[in-house]
């Protein structure tokens, strides 16, 4: 088993990174709408609306999908192919994937598209528009909508870092990206620039 895992959220900072190239270097977890265009090793989707969309296709029949159980899914024929967490974490999809990668024992885990913060609106430091590669599509907010508050997502990420002091986590960001200090307090965590990441794994 490769020692490396990649966990992808859908923040726009990861735009242009191709999952099939990452799979040459380790195991890839990704979330939600990514199944529309790419095939990670593990797809995590905990939103019932997204599970419904996924189950309208044959994707679960041929790919590994994980979610939290919901009795509504019994109405969806394709749901029989989905793996359910026992017990359900109640976490967001991205941090759930991060926890699963850590639980599987990967020693180097690269985090992409965990942008947390939205796009600043004009000069207003307290207003951010929605940041997601799938914005303006089915089951996602519009690009003009207010960004979702990232507090729970951040706390869930921190919990994974704190529970796995023997593993190294690298959050890939663009040079001007949001770098929350809360994460940097963990000695097993570093921010790395996306250009350095691309060079390291020869993703050009």
Residue 47 inside a domain? The answer is yes
Residue 6 inside a domain? The answer is no
Of the pLDDT bands very low, low, confident and very high (cuts 50, 70, 90), residue 1 is low
Residue 152 inside a domain? The answer is yes
What pLDDT, in 10s, does the model give residues 79-136? 999 999 988 989 999 999 999 999 999 999 999 999 999 998 876 677 899 999 999 9
| Assigned token pair, 88 | 């359900």
Residue 11 inside a domain? The answer is no
Count of domains observed in the chain? 1
- What one-character-per-residue DSSP string does 10-29 give? --GGGTT--HHHHTTTSEEE
* Residue-level pLDDT at 182: 87
What is the domain extent for residue 72? 16-200
Which of 64, 155, 172 lies closest to 109 in space, CA to CA? 172
Residue 4 inside a domain? The answer is no
């Amino acid at each position: 088993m490769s020692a490396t895992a990649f966990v992808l959220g859908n923040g726009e900072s990861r735009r242009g990174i191709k999952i099939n190239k990452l799979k040459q270097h380790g195991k890839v977890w990704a979330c939600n709408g990514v199944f529309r265009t790419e095939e990670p090793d593990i797809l995590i989707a905990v939103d019932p609306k997204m599970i419904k969309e996924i189950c309208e296709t044959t994707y679960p029949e041929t790919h590994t999908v994980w979610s939290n159980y919901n009795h509504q899914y019994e109405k969806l024929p394709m749901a029989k192919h989905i793996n359910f967490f026992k017990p359900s974490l109640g976490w967001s999809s991205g941090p759930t994937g991060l926890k699963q990668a850590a639980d599987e024992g990967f020693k180097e885990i690269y985090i992409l598209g965990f942008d947390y913060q939205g796009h600043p609106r004009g000069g207003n430091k307290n207003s951010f528009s929605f940041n997601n590669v799938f914005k303006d599509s089915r089951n996602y907010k519009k690009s003009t909508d207010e960004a979702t508050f990232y507090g729970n997502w951040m706390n869930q990420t921190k919990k994974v870092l704190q529970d796995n002091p023997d593993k190294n986590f690298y959050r890939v960001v663009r040079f001007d990206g949001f770098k929350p200090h809360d994460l940097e307090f963990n000695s097993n965590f570093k921010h790395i620039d996306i250009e350095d990441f691309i060079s390291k794994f020869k993703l050009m």
